[in-house]
């Protein structure tokens, strides 16, 4: 029931939350509730056994969140939800996603707590002080500064229920790249803020970036751990940031546990802007991403791509981290770029070895501000890799892009993605290794050591393994937590944008599960190797009951499943016949009148098919090439496809499919096409 009419900048959901209503007996309706906050700004309470709405929560099981905020949304999707709510002592605490760059007076980034049983609002906290009596009010300067929006907590909120505390990671104030309408330090944007869970009152705050001009949100869940120092146990918090800094704070006071220095940074050269003169730099751990990019060091896999990168960078301003954006035509290099450093994936923690495992990016972004009168013309002449934002209410629009050569290689030197292990007792980096691989560059010598941009978390197990996906190589990797050495990997149907999880079944067998849904944000690096998808993939150590994983033959029969084309998921049925190594198939989709016939070959557990398809009601047709392998003890076939879309210009597009032999056991709901 998602409202697909909205213009959602980040079409994402990072998880669900659960709460037990102790006043209801076990087995009663909504004794255990599942809370999901879909992107169209709702909280929905569901019975954990049946999935039916808990009717006593809000209105028929849901609370609408885009109402009652300062600066009401101008369109569906300007205010959204992308992360699961936090649960603490009968409260559901939720932040928000606010569209970047749309306007200065964007919707407020208010954090709210609702009663988990009734949905009634219990408290709210706005990161932008709105009246003179509030703390931090004088850090916002200008006649419209206190109407500024965003500074929202779009990532995951942490909870210390024993201390009645929630820890909120806040983002940049609106708009991201020009602060002339919100001069000053801008507390409590770009901060970690500790709130009293029962009341919403602020306990402490720590700002990671003053007067943000770089989209340096605090993007990740604050990680809570216990530090051992001088024979004492200190409740601590580690906060990963887009700048590549890892701040380690006392959880009770917000004071740094490793020294943090205020250092001078470059001034702005834009009329109306006043960059804050200093920024906080932790002395330990060292930065996990480089802090400066010299244009003379532009990278290329050959002379042609290196020349292209240098041409794009000609005349750009690059004076190190926190260089403020300049006015067109002089672009500014932002390094680390606006996806990090670290992004939403944050920190995984090994409490035995006291190690934090952090995936990071090393990727430059170039940004320039554009006078309002020139913005439309520039946007019309831009490339598909340029992102333009109006920044309404300011004198300037904005253009930004990740600087990537036509062959998919970023223009800054590799590695472009790393996995690092930090000893949180000492602040030392124990090991660091390139993470992932850009598949289109696989044939280039040395590319196995270049890493790749990544958006996805890591997980540490008690057995000393680090599992991580997130790179554009469509793989799940396992590393030795002591050394960082890669010891295992497996190819997935599509890319991973989430974190792996682990559980032990009732029989005592341990599983590792990952959601693979594709990387729309990293498509520029993955190229034709990236596919949309819709999969959960589980791995486990072998048992005596397992069949050999790579010898399960492709079997003839009736199959049902789904096919993912672009961002549309369709129910698919096919009948497959196999004679020796030859295969033939007839297929049809549910909901739209697409049918197809084709043939191909079988080789052991692998299948390839070429299909001619017809969309009868639209009077158009095309072709499709599918390749897959068996899974789930030969009862499933999962793989990739490419198709010629004869209904919209004949272009070649990519997708994926998953088919199960026989009747599907669960129902599949087909979403509206987008």
By DSSP bridging, strand 42-47 and strand 32-36 are: antiparallel
Burial 35-74 (b: 16+ CB within 10 A, else e): bbbbbbbbbbbbbeeeeebbeebbeebbbebbeebbbebe
HEC string of 366-412? EEEEEEHHHHHHHHHHCCCCCEEECCECCCEEEEEEECECCCCCECC
Angstrom distance (rounded) from CA 214 to CA 191:
14
Angstrom distance (rounded) from CA 153 to CA 625:
43
Question: DSSP state, 314?
Answer: T
Dihedral (CA of 419, 423, 426, 432) sign: negative
Q: Is 529:472 a contact under the CB 8 Å cutoff?
A: yes
Angstrom distance (rounded) from CA 505 to CA 500:
16
Catalytic residue selected from 66, 126, 215, 473 = 215
Q: Which two tokens stand for residue 519?
A: 């990387």
Helix, strand, coil percentages in the chain from 3-state DSSP, rounded to 5? 5, 40, 55
Angstrom distance (rounded) from CA 298 to CA 306:
6
DSSP symbols for 23-75: TS-TTSTTSEEEEE--TTTEEEEEETTT--B-TTTTBTTEEE-SSS-SS--SS
CB 372: neighbour CB atoms within 10 A? 13
Burial 449-463 (b: 16+ CB within 10 A, else e): ebbbbbbbbbbbbee
Would residue 217 show up in a list of annotated catalytic residues for this protein?
no
Question: DSSP state, 524?
Answer: H
Ordered alpha helix ranges (H), 413-496: none
Ordered alpha helix ranges (H), 214-346: 303-313
28: left (phi over 0), alpha (psi -120 to 50) or beta: beta
> Which residues carry out catalysis?
215
């Amino acid at each position: 029931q998602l409202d697909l009419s909205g213009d959602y900048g980040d079409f994402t959901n990072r998880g669900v939350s659960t709460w037990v209503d102790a006043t209801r007996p076990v087995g009663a309706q909504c004794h255990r509730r599942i809370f999901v906050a879909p992107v169209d700004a709702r909280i929905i309470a569901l019975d954990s056994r049946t999935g039916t709405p808990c009717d006593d929560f809000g209105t028929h099981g849901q609370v609408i969140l885009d109402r009652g905020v300062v600066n009401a949304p101008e369109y569906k999707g300007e205010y959204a939800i992308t992360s699961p709510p936090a649960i603490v002592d009968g409260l559901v605490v939720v932040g928000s996603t606010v569209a970047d760059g749309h306007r200065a007076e964007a919707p407020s980034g208010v954090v709210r707590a609702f009663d988990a049983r009734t949905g009634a609002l219990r408290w709210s906290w706005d990161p932008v002080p709105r009246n003179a009596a509030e703390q931090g009010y004088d850090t916002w300067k200008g006649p419209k500064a206190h109407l500024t929006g965003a500074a929202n907590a779009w990532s995951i909120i942490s909870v210390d229920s024993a201390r009645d505390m929630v820890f909120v990671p806040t983002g940049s104030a609106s708009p991201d790249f020009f602060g002339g309408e919100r001069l000053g330090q801008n507390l409590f944007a770009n901060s970690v803020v500790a709130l009293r869970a029962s009341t919403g009152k602020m306990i402490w705050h720590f700002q990671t970036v003053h007067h943000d001009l770089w989209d340096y949100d605090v993007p990740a869940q604050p990680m809570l751990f216990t530090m051992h120092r001088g024979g004492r146990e200190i409740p601590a918090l580690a906060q990963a940031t887009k700048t590549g800094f890892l701040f380690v704070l006392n959880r009770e006071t917000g004071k740094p546990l490793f020294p943090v220095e205020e250092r001078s940074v470059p001034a702005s050269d834009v009329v109306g802007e006043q960059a804050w003169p200093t920024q906080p730099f932790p002395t330990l751990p060292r930065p996990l991403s480089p802090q400066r990019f010299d244009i003379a060091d532009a990278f290329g896999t050959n002379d042609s791509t290196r020349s292209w990168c240098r041409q794009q960078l000609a005349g750009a301003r690059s004076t190190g981290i926190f260089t403020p954006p300049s006015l067109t035509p002089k672009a500014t290099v932002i390094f680390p770029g606006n996806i990090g450093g670290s992004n939403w994936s944050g920190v995984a923690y090994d409490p035995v070895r006291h190690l934090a495992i952090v995936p990071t990016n090393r990727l430059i972004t170039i940004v320039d501000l554009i006078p309002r009168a020139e913005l439309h013309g520039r946007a019309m002449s831009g490339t598909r890799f340029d992102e333009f934002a109006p920044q309404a209410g300011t004198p300037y629009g904005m253009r930004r892009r990740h600087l990537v050569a036509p062959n998919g290689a970023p223009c800054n030197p590799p590695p472009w993605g790393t996995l690092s292990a930090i000893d949180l007792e000492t602040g030392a980096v124990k090991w660091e290794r390139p993470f992932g691989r850009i598949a289109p560059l696989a044939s280039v010598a040395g590319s196995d050591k270049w890493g790749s941009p990544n958006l996805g978390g890591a997980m540490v197990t008690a057995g000393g393994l680090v599992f991580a996906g997130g790179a554009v190589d469509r793989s799940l990797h396992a590393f030795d937590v002591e050394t960082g050495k890669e010891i295992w990997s497996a190819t997935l149907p599509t890319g991973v944008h989430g974190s792996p999880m682990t559980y032990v079944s009732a029989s005592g067998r341990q599983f590792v599960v990952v959601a693979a849904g594709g990387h729309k944000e990293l498509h520029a690096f993955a190229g034709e190797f990236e596919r949309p998808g819709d999969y959960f993939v589980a791995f486990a150590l072998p048992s005596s009951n397992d069949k050999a994983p790579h010898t399960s033959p492709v079997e003839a029969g009736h199959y049902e499943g789904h096919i993912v084309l672009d961002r549309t998921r369709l129910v698919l049925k096919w009948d497959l016949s196999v004679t020796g190594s030859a295969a033939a198939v007839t297929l049809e989709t549910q909901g739209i009148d697409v049918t197809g016939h084709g043939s191909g070959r079988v080789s052991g557990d692998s299948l390839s098919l070429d299909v001619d398809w017809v969309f009868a009601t639209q009077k158009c047709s095309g072709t499709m090439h599918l390749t897959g392998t068996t899974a789930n003890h030969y009862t499933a076939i999962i793989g990739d496809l490419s198709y010629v879309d004869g209904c919209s210009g004949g272009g070649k597009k990519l997708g994926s499919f998953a088919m199960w032999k026989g009747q599907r056991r669960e129902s599949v709901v087909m979403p509206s096409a987008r």
